[in-house]
Structure 1
Amino acid sequence: MSNANDHFWQLDLSDKSIPRYIAVEGPIGVGKTTLTKNLASTFNYDTLLERAEDNPFLDRFYAHEKNSALPTQLFFLFQRIQQLNELRQGDMFQPVRVADFLIEKDPLFAQVTLNEDELKLYQQVFDHMAIDAPTPDLVIYLQASTDVLLDRIHSRGIRSEQTIDHHYLQRLNDAYTHFFHYYDSAPLLIVNASEIDWVNNPDDYRELVNYMLDITRGRHYYNPQPTILR
């Protein structure tokens, strides 16, 4: 289980109905992994995280090597399926955890990065994989403008990400918007993450969590005014 001793992220949850399986999604740099870890700390949940650092093709892909796009995408697909299979095998039919990815969104990266022939091959592989993913009790989709994403990517300073350009991020952002416009497989919370700061501001974080815990079905939008630390 995640460490729940960080009181910065703890809330009074005594009268709340907490989703047992939460998926946090959004484009690169939007803050999904940070929010996932904070939620895991608050709820004392395990995390199911994308392990981008394990992908041996990713640095070459970010360096604009076109022939690395397909192996990069397939590696992530196989990795995510393996993680979900492990989730199923470990008495996790009633999972108590929070993930920073949703397997159903995997093809949208392929649509952005692959050429026509590569996309056909990827889609054949995806369609023939036995993906038995549990349905989240809540999906949180984090949105931010492409300029904000690019600023955050540059600020966090991961070397391989510094070559990501505005055009690629814009296409990815558009693909996410299109995907979640039609998503209805689970309750969905769409969060404007451009201004709020759940990393450093406990009030921003608590307000978001209190809002999400009232969601049991349907589509919801969270677009708060940023709070200011005093």
Structure 2
Amino acid sequence: MKYQFLAVEGPIGVGKTTLAKKLASHFNARLLTDTEDSNPYLGSFYKQQNARAFHTQIHFLVSRLEALNNPEIIQTEQPIVADFFIQKDKLFAELTLDHTEWWMYSTISEQLLQNVPRPDLVVYLQAPLAQLIERIERRGYNYERRIDSHYLEELSALYERYFHTYCDPLLIINTADINLADSEADVSELCHRIAEFRGGRQFYNPQISG
């Protein structure tokens, strides 16, 4: 893989971790995964968002920073595939924090993220709301059972807005008609698209491209 650092992004349930694992295996890259179930505040957050929103965001920020600042990660010559893009964490904060919490979170994150490396390529996964809900239900995480569909819809809209103005290399994938979990052919085609990526902003819509 010609990219030293690739990040997979997209809303909850779109398949970030599933794809990141397959890309890491295909490209012989080191996998940097974000284990959401290790966040002790997440269950309470989904139950009542305003109760633990700030704690949830700070925990994600710190844990992801620790992963990215791991000396083994920084010093390795092996490519890295991550299932998160830490610079976009503010999307969740923007949606869930009140004004005071947002100001505090922004101040903290801006200081901590100053020297954090940015991915050479972001793979942004999209899916319709109904599919996100279906995939979340299928994987059956207890702490996700209380996710509100309106929250998912707003989050997806924030992702769209954020990446609409994103200027670094970006590959946008419509996952509505592909099976990243079980289809080797779909994953192989996506790996080919990544290997052939030439920079800028590109779209891959399997329904259209065939």
Is the pair's TM-score, using the shorter chain for normalization, greater than 0.5?
Answer: yes
TM-score, normalization by structure 2? 0.93
Q: Which amino acid aligns with 1:194?
A: A
Quote how far apart the aligned CAs of 1:174 are: 0.6
Identity of aligned residues (%): 42
CA distance in structure 2 between the partners assigned to 1:189 and 1:115 by the alignment? 32
What secondary structure sits across from 2:178 in the alignment? coil
- Contact persistence 1:81–1:131 (CA under 8 A): no
**Kindly tell me: are residues 75 and 206 of structure 1, through their superposed partners in 2, closer, same or farther at Cα, counting changes over 3 Å?**
same
Q: Which amino acid aligns with 1:66?
A: N
SS of 1:108 mapped into structure 2: helix
Residue 22 (1) aligns with residue 1 (2)? no
> Is contact 2:5–2:120 with CA below 8 Å preserved after alignment?
yes
Give the number of the structure with larger relative contact order, counting CA–CA contacts within 8 Å between residues 6 or more apart.
2
Please point out which of 151, 156, 160 is paired with 1:168. Answer: 151
- Whether 1:178 aligns to 2:166 is no
Cα separation, 1, equivalents of 2:73 and 2:28: 21
What SS is found at the alignment partner of 1:141? strand
1:216 aligns with 2:198: yes
The structure in which a higher percent of residues are helix is 2
CA offset at residue 18 of structure 1?
A: 3.3
Pick one of 175, 179, 184 that aligns with 1:202.
184
Change (3 A) 1:202 1:89: closer
- Equivalent pairs counted in the alignment come to 208
1:32 paired residue number: 16
CA RMSD of aligned residues (A): 1.7
Superposed displacement of residue 133, structure 1: 2.1
TM-score normalised by length of structure 1: 0.85
Distance 1:201 1:153 in 2: 19
Contact 1:55 1:76 in 2 (8 A): yes
Q: Give the alignment of 1:1-230 within 5 angstroms.
A: 18-87=2-71, 90-92=74-76, 94=77, 96-185=79-168, 187-225=169-207
How many Å apart are 1:211 and its aligned residue? Answer: 1.4
CA shift at 1:131, angstroms? 3.7
Q: Extract unaligned runs of 5+ from structure 2.
A: none
CA contact (8 A) 1:85 1:132 kept: no
Deviation at 1:130, TM superposition (A): 4.7
Instruction: Tell me the alpha carbon deviations over residues 142-161 of structure 1, each in whole angstroms, 9 at most, x when there is no partner.
Output: 00111110111011111110
Describe the superposition over 1:51-79 as per-residue Cα deviations: whole angstroms up to 9, x where unpaired.
Answer: 21221111100111522000000110111
Q: Distance in 2 between the 1:140 and 1:73 partners? A: 22
Paired AA for residue 152 in structure 1 = R
Instruction: Report which of the two structures shows the higher radius of gyration computed on alpha carbons.
Output: 1
